[in-house]
Amino acid sequence: MHPIFSRETLHLSKPSLRGIFYFLLTVPLFLLVAEIVARTPLGNLLPAPSVNADSFLFDAKIYQLESQLRRDGTLDCLFLGSSVANSDIDPAIVEQVYREQSGETIHCYNLGLPALTIENATPIAQAVIARFHPKVIIYAILPRDVHDVIANVDYLERIDWVTYNRGEPSRNGWLVNNSYGWRYFLTWRYWLTIPNRAKMEEETRYLTSKGFQPAMDFREPYIENLTMTPARLREAWDDPQQMQAVKNFIALQQKGVKIIFLEGPAYHESDSSDAQTWLAYDNEYLPTLVQILESNQIPFWRTESIAIQIPKEHWYDWLHLNQHGAATFSQWLGEMMAENKSFFK
């Protein structure tokens, strides 16, 4: 026998061959198990399978929404907006109040994302409409949503999950929409980097199964109001693109979804020290928004009446309610929705 093929060489190669064989067998088995587990309640006990969004919160919310839709069969109401929507609206309370007030059951989810603007929201909403078919989208709007000067999440517009659901085919887009095995592989790859594990915990802390992420207690140090000042409110509509961004979102009605705009609640100082801000809000920002919405027959639910009733200790900071304030606000919102239940038919 040729020395290269000696018994010793063949004998030593067998464990290596077996290792390769077992590895090749294990990979599809792992993917199959992951695919099955992700489609059962057991999947909620594991980290959310990633859609490669570079946002653990977005990954978690998309997976929760998929799981909810499998369970309930319909999505009657989707809450959308920035961190104000994320931390102020508890769909579980909204659903309970709606049921008590109307005698009917609806299924809602909170897809609010910190730093979202209405320009970012439009392509994301297009993808969500194609994927989940909500009956109603309630957008919680703030002045910074149309005049962003600090932060946004425009990178989310370009991820494969969004572009694929907007009608741009791609291999990765198909995989993150159809293969939980692939998505768990992406999650595992994130977890190989130890700092990502802490980041995932931080980004998804307190997140409920309906996408509500309460801001707990009181912010220290208290955040400065950088986005709603008289100067910035006066500039809110300076660029025609800002009006167009609102109109682009409204145009989503053409896809068969009803749209309601909800005024994002904000704290009013009891001593009226912020009077100039609210004067600019009422005179410089609000009229243009109302005109756009009224001309397109979009309901606009004002929240000032409930915001001024919520005591300061129930606010996380000047813009975000804490868990106590969110409960009050969600109660009010559930009542508003029950009074307008025809929207959810």
Q: In the chain, what percentage of residues exceed pLDDT 90? A: 77
Q: pLDDT value at position 102?
A: 97
List the one residue out of 186, 126, 138, 116 whose CA is nearest residue 162. Answer: 126
What confidence tier does 148 reach under pLDDT thresholds 50, 70, 90?
A: confident
pLDDT per residue over 57-86, tens digit each?
999 999 999 999 999 999 999 999 999 999
d(CA 49, CA 60): 7
**Residues pairing with 78 in the sheet:** 109, 137
Q: Taking residues 307-334, what's their average pLDDT?
A: 97
pLDDT per residue over 205-236, tens digit each?
999 999 999 999 999 888 777 778 999 999 99
Q: pLDDT value at position 8?
A: 45
- Sequence-distant (≥ 6) Cβ neighbours of residue 251 within 8 angstroms: none
Q: pLDDT value at position 29?
A: 58
pLDDT per residue over 22-35, tens digit each?
444 555 656 666 66
Q: pLDDT value at position 4?
A: 46
Q: Tell me: pLDDT of 283 over 50.
A: yes
Q: Tell me: pLDDT of 10 over 60.
A: no
Domain ranges of the chain: 74-154+206-344
How confident is the prediction for the chain on average, in pLDDT? 90
pLDDT per residue over 97-147, tens digit each?
999 999 999 999 999 999 999 999 999 999 999 999 999 999 999 999 998
User: Is domain 74-154+206-344 given the CATH code 3.40.50.1110 in the classification?
Assistant: yes
Contact 92, 77 (CB under 8 A): no
Contact 172, 162 (CB under 8 A): no
pLDDT per residue over 242-256, tens digit each?
999 999 999 999 999
d(CA 67, CA 52): 18
Roughly what angle, to the nearest 10 degrees, separates helices 180-191 and 194-203?
A: 110
What confidence tier does 5 reach under pLDDT thresholds 50, 70, 90?
A: very low
- For residues 301 and 32, which has the higher predicted lDDT (pLDDT)? 301
- In 136-245, the DSSP E strands lie at 136-141
Amino acid identity of residue 19, one-letter, is: G
Q: pLDDT value at position 6?
A: 47
Q: Taking residues 246-275, what's their average pLDDT?
A: 96
